[in-house]
A and B are shown apart, each in its own frame.
Chain A
Amino acid sequence: NAGVTQTPKFRILKIGQSMTLQCAQDMNHNYMYWYRQDPGMGLKLIYYSVGAGITDKGEVPNGYNVSRSTTEDFPLRLELAAPSQTSVYFCASSPTGSKTPLHFGNGTRLTVT
């Protein structure tokens, strides 16, 4: 099993550009999440999804959009990139069950200059 796969691993954007961070999981998990981690900080939730066609905002959704057309994929869209979006982005998934941990991808390091 590949688990949670994120692409790209690294990306540099200019201010005002847009991009999509890809996330795919092959574990048939219903729940998927996008977090961002700023340097020296914990993770903050951007968006999450409880199943195909259902998404909801997390703590820091401004400047981002998501979609969930399939169980496997949960892309994160950045529109009009700003320096404040420089961060490491983690996608995660989990099966049902309140005791289940999140399974994380390896992250995408994004720099906006």
Chain B
Amino acid sequence: AQKITQTQPGMFVQEKEAVTLDCTYDTSDPSYGLFWYKQPSSGEMIFLIYQGSYDQQNATEGRYSLNFQKARKSANLVISASQLGDSAMYFCAMREGRDSARQLTFGSGTQLTVLP
């Protein structure tokens, strides 16, 4: 079974509007962390935001926020006030367990295009 599922291969949003990128995950471990990365066309992987399974509040980092619904096992990324530079591939990833050496498992990504 897929551990991380991103069901939107591609998304379009108008500049200055908000957009939500979906991510659902599957784990039986009560301790886990969820990460979002941005990959622009230049190819580098840029860390955006982190949410821990025990965190009481949804994570926020500037224009990025996480809509974390633990019971539904979803961790959707919300980008507010979209900018042209937000056009990129976005990956959701999960680290299971408390061992920080454990690797991140990635979803297949969502290609976001911001329209002027």
Contact = CB atoms under 8 A, between A and B. Distances in A.
Interface of A: 30-31, 33, 35, 40-45, 48, 50, 58, 88, 90, 92, 94-104, 106-107, 109
Interface string B50-94: 101000000000000000000000000000000000000001010
Interface of B: 4, 31, 33, 35, 37, 43-45, 47, 50, 52, 91, 93, 95, 97-101, 103-109
A6 to B, nearest CB: 11
B32 to A, nearest CB: 9
Contact of B98 (A90, A98, A101, A103): A98
5 contacts: A42-B108, A43-B93, A96-B100, A101-B37, A104-B45
Contacts of A99: 33, 50, 52, 100
